Amino acid sequence: MKTYLGDAIILPSSMLSEVRSLTELDFWPAIEKDHHGHLPGFEPFRANHEGGNMINRHLTKALNKYTKPLYQETKHAVSDILTESTVQVLRQFPPILRPLANRYLSICKQTRAALKACRDFIRPHVDARNASKARAAAKGEPEPVYDDAIEWCQREYAADRDPADSQISLAMVAIHPTTDQLTETMTQIARHPELFQPLRDEIATVLGADGIHKTNLQNLRLLDSVIKESQRLKPVSVSNFRRVAVQDFTLSNGLRIHKGDNVWIDVAHMWDSQVWDKAEQFDPYRFVKLRGTEKDHISHLVSTSPEHTGFGHGRQACPGR
Distances (CA, A) of 5 to 38, 90, 105, 211, 318: 13, 11, 20, 45, 21
Question: Could you tell me which residues are beta bridge partners of residue 244?
Answer: 26, 262
Q: Is 318 annotated as a binding residue?
A: yes
Alpha carbon distance 36, 94 (integer Å): 12
Strands 6-11 and 2-3: what pairing? antiparallel
Please list, in sequence order, all residues whose beta carbon lies within 8 angstroms of the beta carbon of residue 264, skipping any fewer than 6 positions away.
8, 9, 10, 11, 239, 241, 242, 243
Positions of E strands within the chain? 2-3, 6-11, 25-26, 241-245, 249-250, 256-257, 262-265
Reduced to 3 states (helix: H, G, I; strand: E, B; else coil), residue 282 is coil
Residue (of 180, 172, 159, 157) closest to 42 by Cα position: 172
Interatomic CA distance for residues 67 and 229, integer angstroms: 23
Point out the annotated binding site: 318
Point out the annotated binding site for heme: 318
